[in-house]
Homo-oligomer: A and B are copies of this chain.
């Protein structure tokens, strides 16, 4: 069944919005919308508001740039964590992935992306200045470069090593237990945990 004509503009709008999500086709979008239409009104309002509030009220930690409900995230404000180690990751999915291994008790720094000339993303687009400031302060003993095992990850590792090396912290990278070509977000937690434990000094 194609969707040439909708009996309602409201229905059509909602289907179009769902169909704009990645991996959601128009048939699936229609099925999801019909499911919402059968639900209690308050439940549907809660659904819609959860989306609006997420985007409108979400904060990013002023220290590590992780997603947060507060100005400083739970991890950065946790006094039990080792504040002398910083794990540098691409995005918040990667913070969650490393946290789920339960192998790491230091802090994070979320770059907000990865150097990728093809996508037009250079160092200036990433949270690198604030990372440099932390390292420059002299309180950091170790920087763990926990980026994806891809060309872009390697490029970013290299850039950060050159940028931060002059402050003489220990710079380590994840052990290559992570298969080359795999994205960190989808790596299973045992492999990722081993990779953190087996981290090695950065080698050019």
* A residues in contact (CB < 8 Å) with B: 1-11, 13-14, 16-17, 20-24, 28, 30-37, 39, 41, 44-59, 66-69, 73-75, 92-93, 95-97, 99-100, 185-189
Contact = CB atoms under 8 A, between A and B. Distances in A.
Most buried by B among A7, A24, A188: A7
A55 B69 contact: no
B23 A31 contact: yes
Contacts of A4: 100
Contacts of A92: 7, 34
A3 B96 contact: yes
A16 B187 CA distance: 22
Mostly helix, strand, loop or mixed at chain A's interface? Answer: helix
Contact of A35 (B10, B21, B47, B96): B21
B36 A47 contact: no
Nearest to A24: B32
A45 B49 CA distance: 9
The 8 residue pairs across chains A and B that have the minimum distance between CB atoms = A48-B52, A44-B55, A48-B51, A48-B48, A14-B54, A17-B47, A13-B50, A14-B50
Contacts of A8: 58-59, 67-69
B54 A1 contact: no
B41 A9 contact: no
B73 A55 contact: no
Contacts of A33: 54
B32 A28 contact: no
A51 B55 contact: no
B54 A13 contact: yes
Contacts of A49: 48, 52
B7 A68 contact: yes
Contacts of A22: 31-32, 35
Contacts of A56: 41, 44-45
B97 A1 contact: yes
